[in-house]
Every structure is written in structure tokens, then in C-alpha cells.
């Protein structure tokens, strides 16, 4: 109950940011929330399912392009386009899983990266959406939505500010839903089976766990949420191109850095990681390429001296875990 109250209080405080904070802060925190969604999904894949993917940018790009196609080519509501983007990413993850699951370890990582690059090259041929140079989202399509006018009536401000407010709240809702859903799932029988598969697939199979089914389920679900996040990101960005939508650095490399420094295989790890990443970005962004070098050095230091990440090391040293994912073994009954 205490953790639930803390969770609700933090969520409420973050929800008040668009009302009380500046537009620049809202835009910054929107990107932080989207990175957190991507990090939570990658952590589920790599930290709990043992699927170290280096191609999650494929589902960001597919979700974004499906949203743009829904708006520009079909004239649909952008929010409906976000849902279509998530569904498109999940559908296209099925053939990806069919081939990628035949690979293991480093081969799986390289295979997912190759799929993402194939997707980038394929979408660069889509002339209706600008080909290799991309295209912009019509402003009227987003700014004329009824909900945007409602937000302006309630809180005032420009149409662009109302769009920022809407996308921020949707990203926050996605983060909260992802955190709650991941905790419930990982505490469930299937979640425990997934962690058993990660630790020892042979032993897990011997007690009736189907590793392929569980990994496929997680792969499809994370593709769906990653596609949703991709569509939402590019509503706020307003313009799309293959290089931006399928960016390895922005949507996978930074995400891996966040999870590694926060604590892979822990639920609060990505939260700690994204806070550290945001702080470093704000403090070092003016230093150009030196900023990326420092990020790399910090990541190497964490992997060498705190291999479980900041949150994992904290739990290891203090024994305090406010969000435990395991279950206590049942007490052994004494013979009568």
C-alpha cells in the first residue's frame, strides 16, 4: 500500500507539469518519458527474457511510419494512427521473430540490427511519404483535433502548446501502464517462468516452462508498445525521415545505456538510468562529441565496477528492494 501511494503521488506530480511548468520543460520531460518507455521494453527483452536486441529502432520506425501513413494517406485521427502504428509493429514482429529466434547470443543481436537496417532501407523507398528525405505531418491534422481545442479552453495557450500537453500526458500514461503491467506480469506465474528461462532454459523446460512461447509473447508485446511510442514520438516531432525514425543511436544505443547504468533485470533500473541520462545530457550537451565520449566512459565504468547497475548494486549492498519481483518460498510444514 505504501508503494502504491508513492507511485500515485509521483504520477500525480508528473501530471501537473504541463499545467505548472514551462513548455520547454514539458518537451524535455516528454522525451525522457518516451526513452523510459523504450528502456522498460528493452529491459523486459534483455533483462528478463534474455533477448539482447540491437534492432528495436525497427519498431519505433514502423510505428512512426504507420502513424504518418494513417494521417496523410488515409486521413485518420493521429491518435488512432498511433494505435495503428503499435499494431503494425506487432504484426511485423511476427516474421522477425520467426527468423531471429533461430539465432542465439551475439547472432540474435546482429540479426535484429540487420532487420532494422533492412526496414530503414525499405521505408526510404516509400515515395508517398517522401522517400529518403521524409515528409512533415500536416499541422492541421494534429492541431485541429477536438481534444486540442478542449485543452485550450481549459488551460489556455497556443495550439502547439496544447499538442505538447496532450503528447506528454499520453507518454506519462504509457509509462505508468508499462510499469504497473510489467510488475504484475513479472510477479505472475508466466513472469517467473520467463525469469527461469533467462537463468537456465534447460532447467525451466524440465519443469514444464515453454521458453519459445514466453519469449515470443514478450517480443510481440514489446514490439507493440515500442510501436505506440514511435507513433507518439513523431506526433510531437512533426517530421519523419528514415534516418530519424530508424536511428540506432537515438532509439537503441541510448536506451541500452540507460538500462545498463540503471540496472538490467530490475524494474526500477531504467527509471534510475533515465534520470542519470537526463542529468548528464543537461550538464554535458554543450560539449559536443565529448558528451558522447563521456557517456561511453561512464557506461564502461558501470559495467566494470557495478555490473548490476546503480539500482542493482544498491539492492545488493543494502538488501532493500521496494519492488521485489520474486516470491518467498512456502514455509515448510512440520510433521505432526
Q: What is the DSSP string of 16-37?
A: THHHHS-HHHHHHHHHHHHHHH
Whole-prediction pTM? 0.93
pLDDT at 336 over 60: no
In angstroms, rounded to a whole number, what is the distance separating the alpha carbons of residues 164 and 181?
25
Instruction: Report residue 115 CA to chain centroid gap.
Output: 18
In angstroms, rounded to a whole number, what is the distance separating the alpha carbons of residues 205 and 193?
9
HSE of 320, CA atoms in CB hemisphere, 13 A: 2
- Coil, strand or helix: which one is 77? coil
Q: What pLDDT shows up at residue 291?
A: 79
User: How does residue 209 score in pLDDT terms, banded at 50, 70 and 90?
Assistant: confident
Look up cell 523510459; give the residue. 36
**H-run or E-run covering 203:** helix 201-206
175 near 11, Cβ under 8 Å?
no
Q: What pLDDT shows up at residue 318?
A: 85
The DSSP output letter for 217 is H
**Average pLDDT of the residues of the chain:** 89
pLDDT tens digits for 103-128? 888 899 999 999 999 999 999 999 99
169 near 280, Cβ under 8 Å?
no
Q: Look at residues 336, 311, 335 and name the one whose alpha carbon lies nearest to residue 325.
A: 311
User: How does residue 305 score in pLDDT terms, banded at 50, 70 and 90?
Assistant: confident
Q: How far is CA 22 from CA 13, 36, 238, 281, in A?
A: 15, 21, 20, 19
Highest mean pLDDT: which range of 128-132, 229-233, 315-319: 229-233
In angstroms, rounded to a whole number, what is the distance separating the alpha carbons of residues 95 and 238?
29
pLDDT tens digits for 46-78? 999 889 999 999 999 999 999 999 999 999 999
Terminus-to-terminus CA distance in the chain, angstroms? 37
Q: Look at residues 325, 92, 50, 57 and name the one whose alpha carbon lies nearest to residue 189.
A: 325
Amino acid at each position: 500500500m505504501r508503494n502504491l501511494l508513492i507511485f500515485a503521488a509521483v504520477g500525480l506530480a508528473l501530471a501537473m507539469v504541463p499545467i505548472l511548468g514551462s513548455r520547454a520543460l514539458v518537451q524535455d520531460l516528454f522525451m525522457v518519458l518516451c526513452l523510459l518507455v523504450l528502456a522498460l521494453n528493452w529491459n523486459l527483452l534483455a533483462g528478463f527474457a534474455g533477448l539482447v536486441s540491437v534492432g528495436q529502432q525497427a519498431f519505433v520506425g514502423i510505428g512512426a511510419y504507420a502513424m504518418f501513413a494513417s494521417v496523410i494517406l488515409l486521413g485518420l485521427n493521429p491518435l488512432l494512427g498511433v494505435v495503428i502504428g503499435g499494431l503494425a509493429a506487432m504484426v511485423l514482429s511476427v516474421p522477425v521473430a520467426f527468423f531471429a529466434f533461430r539465432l542465439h547470443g551475439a547472432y540474435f543481436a546482429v540479426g535484429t540490427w540487420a532487420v532494422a537496417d533492412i526496414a530503414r532501407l525499405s521505408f526510404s523507398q516509400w515515395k508517398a511519404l517522401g522517400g529518403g528525405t521524409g515528409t512533415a505531418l500536416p499541422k492541421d491534422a494534429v492541431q485541429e483535433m477536438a481534444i486540442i481545442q478542449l485543452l485550450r479552453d481549459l488551460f489556455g495557450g497556443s495550439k502547439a502548446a496544447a499538442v505538447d500537453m496532450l503528447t506528454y500526458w499520453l507518454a506519462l500514461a504509457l509509462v505508468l501502464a508499462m510499469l504497473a503491467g510489467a510488475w504484475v506480469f513479472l510477479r505472475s506465474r508466466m513472469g517467473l517462468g520467463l525469469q527461469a528461462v533467462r537463468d537456465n532454459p534447460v532447467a525451466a523446460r524440465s519443469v514444464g516452462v515453454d521458453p519459445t512461447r514466453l519469449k515470443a509473447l514478450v517480443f510481440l508485446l514489446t514490439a507493440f508498445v515500442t510501436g505506440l511510442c514511435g507513433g507518439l514520438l513523431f506526433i510531437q516531432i512533426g517530421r519523419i525521415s528514415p534516418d530519424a525514425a530508424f536511428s540506432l543511436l537515438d532509439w537503441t544505443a541510448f536506451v541500452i545505456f540507460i538500462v545498463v547504468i540503471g540496472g538490467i533485470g530490475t524494474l526500477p533500473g531504467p527509471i534510475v538510468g533515465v534520470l542519470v541520462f537526463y542529468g548528464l545530457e543537461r550538464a554535458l550537451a554543450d560539449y559536443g562529441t565529448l558528451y558522447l565520449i563521456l557517456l561511453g566512459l561512464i557506461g564502461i565504468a558501470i559495467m566494470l565496477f557495478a555490473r548490476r547497475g546503480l539500482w542493482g548494486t544498491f539492492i545488493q549492498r543494502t538488501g532493500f528492494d521496494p519492488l521485489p519481483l520474486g516470491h518467498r518460498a512456502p514455509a515448510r510444514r512440520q510433521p505432526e
